[in-house]
Copies of this chain bind each other. A is one copy, B any other.
Amino acid sequence: MKKLINNPRAVVDESVEGFGMAHADLVDVHPDPKFVVRKGAPVKGKVALVSGGGSGHEPLHAGFVGLGMLDAAVPGAVFTSPTPDQIIPATTAVDSGAGVVHIVKNYTGDVLNFETAAEMAQAEGVAVRSVLVNDDVAVEDSLYTAGRRGVGGTVLVEKIAGAAAERGDDLDAVAAIAERVVANVRTMGVALSGCTVPHAGTPSFELADDEIEIGIGIHGEPGRHKIAMEPADAITDRLLEPVLEDLSIASGDKVLLFVNGMGGTPLSELYIVYRRAAQVLAERGATVERSLVGNYVTSLEMQGCSVSVLRLDDELTTLWDAPVHTAALRWGV
């Protein structure tokens, strides 16, 4: 294992500390219990958004803390859910009195810990709504999940719900917008390589030189099946087809197309995948109204990508376009 780290046990501490130093204009880092809050939070009168999950998926979630997106992010250990001890103070710290939406990726540990935290925060007088993200069409249940996993689509939920909160929507309205994104986004991924959790020291799984894993999760957990390596266009078709099927994408639909890198794949390759996915959507008569290409929901240094499609309506498009100022996503400001 070769990584730019010091102590495998200190990876999250040191990385989050560096993040806080690099983006001191945007965030404050609370070291213990660990969470990252938007500078100036709570924002008066605004519904707050809190997300979190295991580390190793950077820039998710801390990279999305700031104007127009998250008010707090709660990083767990690598590929490990954050604890209620972290989620509760993050939730109370950003509540302005308008309430807090928890955006939770559907993994058993995350769901349990956010549930516990929501109950405790509510006992302290904070109104909490929880929104479960479960956009991964690859598998119905997995090693870490009952039901579908939450993967790349999480970024789109956080951006669009964050914009709704920023424009002044109330708690129920922000939660409803987040649910609408969840209902309209689907994702599937592929791995060309495994990845190594620092404190484990060995790859979480291995792939042969000519082998890839279709339907991979973001923790290296198994997908649908391993197949022999194929050209990028064929792989893209394998990812996109179930996504379009599940969303019943038809002629005339307007979509956001998101090609997400898993961390170790060059940007140039993501654009080759984007090219094919956009061609297929065009053939279907769907219009790609917005796009996002890059490393946003990663699995450490894993090589591979995921393809997400979000069906847009006018309001979702307006909210997507609204100003955002975070470390990893910024426009309009």
Contact = CB atoms under 8 A, between A and B. Distances in A.
Copies of the chain in the assembly:
2
A59 interface: yes
A291 B210 CA distance: 40
A332 B330 CA distance: 9
A209 interface: yes
B11 A275 contact: no
A4 B58 contact: no
A6 B233 contact: yes
Contact of A265 (B4, B19, B333): B4
Interface residues of A, number: 65
Contacts of A2: 192-193, 207, 209-210, 212, 229, 303
Contacts of A4: 192, 232, 235, 265, 269-270, 272-273, 304-305
A293 interface: yes
Contact of A300 (B14, B266, B276, B333): B266
A225 interface: no
A29 B12 CA distance: 41
A289 to B, nearest CB: 11
A86 B209 CA distance: 37
Contacts of A264: 263-264, 266, 301, 303
Contacts of A267: 58-59, 63, 263, 295, 298
Nearest to A229: B2
A298 B261 CA distance: 14
A12 B269 CA distance: 9
Contact of A278 (B22, B269, B272): B22
Among all A-B residue pairs, the 8 with the closest Cβ atoms: A18-B275, A18-B271, A4-B269, A15-B268, A58-B267, A6-B231, A264-B264, A18-B274
